[in-house]
Homo-oligomer: A and B are copies of this chain.
Amino acid sequence: MTDDDRQLPGLVRELVTLSRRFRSNADRLHPDLSFVDYSLLTEMAERNGARAGDLVGLYNLNKSTISRQVTALRQAGLVVREPDPGNPRAQLLHPSDRGRELLALADARMRREVDMRTEGWSPDEVRALRTLLARYNGAASAAVEDV
């Protein structure tokens, strides 16, 4: 299989464009919950509790970055933490009630946004994008964790 078959340069370009643009659009969409805060709350909610280290691994960031962002969320009253039953040294992070409220609002706007961007797509196409992205993201996680 040649590079050309897979059109990799084009794919790289689209990934770059998406990555650089998505954050600012998200910030504009829900000014009361930054893209960063939104991403962290989403994962805490989806995973039913996340450790700081999980978030470090997921986003491939320095642990100091996550530590500060989580601290800010706790100080803002959007996140609570409790001891992790499965690991006595770790803490599990959860959205607070207020965190869940803000998350729900931001979620609604994000869904509406993506809904508009995919207007005219067939359901299969939308699902295909989701599936392929999930696969790509999954592969990326695995590779990162290999280190």
Contacts and interface: CB of A to CB of B under 8 A. Distances in A.
A68 interface: no
A59 B126 contact: no
Q: Range of interface residues on chain A?
A: 35 or more
Contacts of A8: 111, 114-115, 126
Interface in A48-68: 58-61
Interface string A100-122: 00000001001100111111010
Count identical subunits in the complex.
Answer: 2
A89 interface: no
A133 B11 contact: yes
Interface string A132-147: 1111110110011000
Interface stretch (A16-24, A72-80, A90-98): A16-24
